[in-house]
Amino acid sequence: MRAHRLLIPALVLLAACSDPSARSNAQIPPLAQPTRAAPGDAATLKVSFAPVVKKAAPAVVNISAKRVVRQQADPFWQLFGMGAPRERVEGSLGSGVLVRADGIIITNNHVIEGSQDITVGLADRREFPAKVLLADPRVDLAVLKIDVGAERLPTLAIDDSGETQVGDLVLAIGDPFGVGQTVTNGIISALNRSTDPNGDAGNAYIQTDAAINPGNSGGALVDMDGDLIGVNSFILSRSGSSAGVGFAIPAAMVRRIVETAAGGGHALVRPWLGARTQTVTPDIAKSLGLPIPQGALVADLWPNGPAARAGLHQGDVIVSVDGKSVADAAAVSYVVGSSRPGQALKLGIHRGAGEQALILKAEAAPATPPRDEKLLTGRNPFDGATVVNVSPAVADELGIDPFAAKGVMVINIGRGFAMNAGLRPGDVIKRVNGRDIATVGELTGALSAGGGQWQVTIVREGQEITGNFRT
């Protein structure tokens, strides 16, 4: 019996040693019950979004805007002298962010555009009328002001340090319907993302997968420190729902427009590069000996513009600005356009087989020639058209390429012969009765010398069109 009693413990011991699962099971302690404790340090704070929301949410507001729309009556009833035009009130809802304690708010321009009555609802449900300090349709930002007397309101700090990276966690906070705030989370999936293939300086967004609900336009995109890194602008969605790719206007542009409005300015002054650029494609990179297709190729230079004075040449490739790599033409345009006039920017360029550094002084686009906007009237093909001299400043205002639209441009068509002749806003007038037209003054001179027969040449979307008219 003793032998058997000794053998059994030995067999059990051998079995435990030879069976890993038996050994591991024997060593697992009882499962710990989950507990919820208050965060004890900064790292633990990021386990939950609650501390971030608590910090940021009080500065996010609801914006209600109303506009009066003149509604035309049914043409059938107008034939009988009935059905006069009526006016109706349209409303829109959006979000905004308090960025200064004295009541200055940033939102999207499309939320308040054309509105006569704007009301801001705070997170504590108080409401205040608001006035517009500055509105910029091109960057889709507007600055509002509410009067709260001596009270200091909660605000969000604007973080334009440039330290935001792809993969960072973010929250999208808005107050879309006036019944309460919404909070969604996601990550940054791209920076300097442009929806304009031409690299418009007003289009370089933070892309995020955080859901942007209807009415969240103008709301806050915040990082895990609770700082404002962007203003939610729109979402691309095939389904039409809030699930899709969201885009936010970066904090650098937000700060620029807030500073301009707070300083009494009514328009944002955007510095310009003074060069036409195009994104480096794989074929361009291969032909220039670049290791990767990255940067902006300088295709043309404006005479005596900032790029020309900085020493840029046609064929140079801008690969970095102030030590940070730029992916494409849109990124270069955005960095220059969001800088302050007079600021010195260090450009890293690829030229030939080497790399160079140049200093570009940021400056506003010049208004040369003078604007000279004029409504044309009389017995001529341009009756009812408003025209303007195209300068770099006007091109920036209209969001067009100053290299492609030199001369006199039609910017509006009213009632008159021009409408019947088929002229459109954006047409560039090149010749009238064989005379080349470079300024509004030359155009009015040609019209005063003409008779009832007219031959007009315009440039529309890069193509010349010639027409003959009798007035």
Residues serving a catalytic function are 110, 140, 217
Residue 184, token pair as written in the block: 């969604």
Looking at residue 272, what DSSP letter applies?
Answer: -
CA distance 154 to 56: 9
| Cis amide bond preceding 369, omega within 30 | yes
Helix count and strand count (H, E) for the chain: 13, 25
Tell me the C-alpha distance between 262 and 97, whole Å: 15
Cα-to-chain-centroid distance, residue 233: 7
* CA 44, 48, 51, 53 torsion-angle sign: positive
Residue 315's nearest CA partner among 269, 345, 353, 265 is 353
Between CA 367 and CA 349 the distance in angstroms is 28
Between CA 206 and CA 200 the distance in angstroms is 15
* Closest residue by Cα to residue 458 from 469, 450, 449: 469
**In angstroms, how far is the first alpha carbon of the chain from the final one?**
129
Give me 100's structure tokens. 């200064």
Check residue 293 and report its DSSP letter: S
Burial bucket for residue 100 (CB in 10 Å: 0-12, 13-18, 19+): middle
Residue in this structure with the two tokens 């290299």, named with its chain if needed = 403
Could you write out the DSSP letters of every residue in 174-219? E--SSS--EEEEEEEEEEEE-S-TT--TT--EEEE-S---TT-TT-
Distances (CA, A) of 348 to 105, 272, 292, 421: 36, 17, 15, 49
Cα-based angle 91, 253, 54 (whole degrees, multiple of 5): 70
